[in-house]
Structure 1
Amino acid sequence: MLHEVQAMHGAMSAACSSLVRQPSPLQSYLEDRFEGVSGPAWLDGQAIDQACRAAEMLGGLMTFGPDQKAAEMTEDMWDTAGRAAWRLVLDGDAAIRDFLRKKLLPAVKMNGHPSPRNSFGMLYGWLFASRLSKDLGPIRDIVREVIIENVPLVPGQFLLGKHVTAPRLASVTLIASAEGLHSKTLTKILRLAGVFDGARNVVADYALAKPLIERANMVSAG
């Protein structure tokens, strides 16, 4: 049964096949799933291949950082990743979101905004490359929602398989350009309304800003 689980992420190399290794908690869980035994709720809510790959990708980020490439991971590294992620997936949705936020926020680009690609490394690359071709389970929505909550985005932007209709944060410069307003005019309107984050030059709550922008456009057109 263990061989069936391991086949989900590739056959072991000849060098590794002779190693004697105690099953990780993730491997034991997957074996139990085949026998109909329930486990952590977050994992049980997914298909077995979804649960396995999500845990390994999270563990890879935890253990080896965002610069590690999935294609360069060895079988030993995947095993280490699965072990590292066990406590995180055991705690479930809220713990995973907290971990991702802590990884995301320190990795800022030159514009001062967090970079999901730089923060999440192979986890982001895996989710991005899959697009809509395969259901990867809840991990894609979790990563997407963490990005929406913390990164300035453009309305209509395509992000991990879906269009962002109403970003929580949005760049003042981009909104002003899209709406035909001067950025200083928009900044003044948003600051008076209390929805401007001057430190990052973003709209701090796009849902509150949207009617103000529409009103400013009507005045400008009139």
Structure 2
Amino acid sequence: MIVLQPHLPFDPEETTLSFASRLAVLHTGRGMQRLLRDLKIDMPGLVSGRSAETAALAAAAAIPPDGLLANRIDVRQTHSWFRGERLAKAFLSPRAARYCRACLAEDGDVGSWRHRLIWGFRHVHRCDRHALWLTPTADASATSLHAVLAPEGIAQHAEVGDPHPEYLSWLRARLEGEPLPDDDWLKGQTLEQVLNASEMLGAILEHGHDVRVTKLPPTTDEQATDIGFSIYREGPEAVTEALDTIHGASKAAAVQAGPLAYYGRLFDWLDRRSNAIDPGPIRDILRAHIVKHFAIEPGTKVLGEEVTVRTSYTLQSLSDELRMDRRRLSRLLQKIGKVPSGATDRESGNLIFDAAETLPLIEAFQSAIRLHDLPEYLGASRRQIETLYRAGLLRPLVPMVSAGAVRNVVFARDHLDELLAKIAALPTVLDADRDKYHSAPHACQRGAGPFETVFPKIMSGDIPCHRDPGKRGIEALIVRLDDVLGGPLPA
């Protein structure tokens, strides 16, 4: 193996092809093809980032191979590999397509020009060192800057611009292996997953559901990516909040409108355009958001995964599930506060109802007991029931403050059965002691206090109470007057 002299050190910021190009200028004064032929290194293999050719170049230059291998971009037919990450070919290119004039001017003569690795990322539009917009070369497929630039073309450069965006600082730190505080969320994701998700979120939030990110000019795309990154880096909850905003900003009004109408290009990207490269956790977050906000039928595939459990209903699917007329169901849902009073058919049809919350409520309503029937069900007088109801001790399904609560008041059967079960669990008394006990209403008449005050004390155990085995419900409650009056009655 030929070892090149003089020695040329490798810059960790440059690409493998940039180093090969500088070696060629130094040792042949020509392009890298002549040098690689002399070194018997396959040029297409090196340009494509193959490890064998890259290691051979490091050996010829007498440098450790780790740096060159870390900065190579292994380009395959359908994708690329970079530092163990599978990437889209368009995400990171090894080609000399763009450059910073200030960086090249600082490098000095042509032989010292270095094509920085960070310039190859699609989301990088400016130099993070000088805050200057990157300049495109005449040939985006060029393997080196030396082949497409003349020294006079980079002699001058614009003044330093605004500070570079936050995501560029993050990208620089990741490339250089610097520790990033509180970065567990992003640490487990590839560079492409983080930047693509940031770009899509920011672009839709800023430019609407129909935005085409590949058509955005560099300044606009940079701004969108930075806005999205400021959200995405905060984690799943922040992403979900952004999805809430995107969903709420949709102009979709049709009952049959689906996720594409509500999430736009974000859904299109995750549903159809990201099959070759895993888009990362944003797909799972969006799927969970869709399942929450749409009535997805079990067995339906959403973003590549099958939904097995129904979590929500539309008015129509709820009507089908309960086998209840849709208009009658709408009136019922208005009564229990799940549909705005007076909502039109279209408005109610666009609503989504949480299955875990709505179904039990409707089932409770269907089996509920009317206020008119409570005396018989609870074994009490009508006056006692009205007293307990006014005192809030009997809780109707529809709160009394709700619209329509004064008519057709109903009570959940399980609430009433719980109260009857407490009464049934009370101890009974021996026949010999029965004359020492009186009904709860009688005790109230003898000075124990209002029935609505005594009754909850009995139920809580503050007042000792027994049950008359010959009766049921509230009428079975019997107490000793000494217990409710705090001592024996006066003679």
Question: TM above 0.5, one fold?
Answer: yes
Following superposition of structure 1 onto structure 2, how do residues 180-191 of structure 1 map, counting pairs within 5 Å? 181=323, 183-184=325-326, 187=329, 191=333
CA distance, structure 2, for counterparts of residue 66 and residue 149 of structure 1 = 20
Kept in 2, the 8 Å contact 1:152–1:167? The answer is yes
Q: Which residue of 2 aligns with 1:219?
A: none
Kept in 2, the 8 Å contact 1:168–1:206? The answer is yes
Kept in 2, the 8 Å contact 1:59–1:82? The answer is yes
CA distance, structure 2, for counterparts of residue 143 and residue 174 of structure 1 = 23
Q: 1:131 to 1:162 in 2, by over 3 A?
A: farther
1:166 Cα deviation from its structure 2 partner: 2.2
Partner deviation per Cα, 1:71-115 (whole Å, 9 max, x = no partner): 312333221112222321232221111121122024253335775
CA distance, structure 2, for counterparts of residue 114 and residue 81 of structure 1 = 27
Following superposition of structure 1 onto structure 2, how do residues 176-215 of structure 1 map, counting pairs within 5 Å? 181=323, 183-184=325-326, 187=329, 191=333, 197=339, 200-201=348-349, 204-207=353-356
Following superposition of structure 1 onto structure 2, how do residues 23-102 of structure 1 map, counting pairs within 5 Å? 23-39=164-180, 40-102=183-245
Q: Which residue of 1 aligns with 2:120?
A: 7
CA distance, structure 2, for counterparts of residue 110 and residue 35 of structure 1 = 48
TM-score, with length taken from structure 1: 0.73
Kept in 2, the 8 Å contact 1:55–1:89? The answer is yes
Which residue type is aligned with residue 278 of structure 2? Answer: D
Q: Which residue of 1 aligns with 2:135?
A: 17
State percent identity of aligned pairs.
24
1:153 to 280, 296, 300: 296
CA distance, structure 2, for counterparts of residue 6 and residue 162 of structure 1 = 36
Partner deviation per Cα, 1:45-88 (whole Å, 9 max, x = no partner): 21111111111111212222222112312333221112222321
Which residue type is aligned with residue 17 of structure 1? Answer: T
1:166 to 296, 306, 309: 309
CA distance, structure 1, for counterparts of residue 326 and residue 302 of structure 2 = 28
Q: Which residue of 2 aligns with 1:216?
A: none
1:4 Cα deviation from its structure 2 partner: 3.7
Which residue type is aligned with residue 77 of structure 1? Answer: T
CA distance, structure 2, for counterparts of residue 166 and residue 210 of structure 1 = 14
Which residue type is aligned with residue 250 of structure 2? Answer: A
Which residue type is aligned with residue 143 of structure 1? Answer: L
Q: Which residue of 1 aligns with 2:261?
A: 118
1:136 to 263, 279, 282: 279
TM-score, with length taken from structure 2: 0.36
Which secondary structure state, in structure 2, belongs to the residue aligned with residue 134 of structure 1?
coil
1:30 Cα deviation from its structure 2 partner: 1.0
Kept in 1, the 8 Å contact 2:295–2:314? The answer is yes
1:103 to 243, 246, 250: 246
How many residues in Structure 1 have an aligned counterpart in Structure 2? 211
1:154 Cα deviation from its structure 2 partner: 2.3
1:35 Cα deviation from its structure 2 partner: 1.6
Which residue type is aligned with residue 172 of structure 1? Answer: L
Q: 1:75 to 1:203 in 2, by over 3 A?
A: closer
Partner deviation per Cα, 1:17-61 (whole Å, 9 max, x = no partner): 268665321112112112222433332221111111111111212
Runs of 4+ in 1 over 6 A off after TM superposition: 209-213
Which secondary structure state, in structure 1, belongs to the residue aligned with residue 233 of structure 2?
helix
1:11 Cα deviation from its structure 2 partner: 8.7
Normalized per residue, which structure has more helix?
Answer: 1
User: Which blocks of at least 5 consecutive residues in structure 2 are unaligned?
Assistant: 1-12, 15-115, 126-132, 137-156, 363-491
Which secondary structure state, in structure 2, belongs to the residue aligned with residue 91 of structure 1?
coil
- Which has the bigger relative contact order, CA under 8 A and spacing at least 6? 1
Kept in 2, the 8 Å contact 1:171–1:203? The answer is yes
Pairwise CA RMSD: 3.8
Kept in 2, the 8 Å contact 1:166–1:207? The answer is no
Kept in 2, the 8 Å contact 1:108–1:114? The answer is no
Kept in 1, the 8 Å contact 2:250–2:262? The answer is yes
1:185 Cα deviation from its structure 2 partner: 9.3
User: Which blocks of at least 5 consecutive residues in structure 1 are unaligned?
Assistant: 214-222
1:186 Cα deviation from its structure 2 partner: 9.0
Kept in 2, the 8 Å contact 1:38–1:44? The answer is no
Q: 1:63 to 1:107 in 2, by over 3 A?
A: closer
1:184 Cα deviation from its structure 2 partner: 3.6
Kept in 2, the 8 Å contact 1:203–1:209? The answer is no
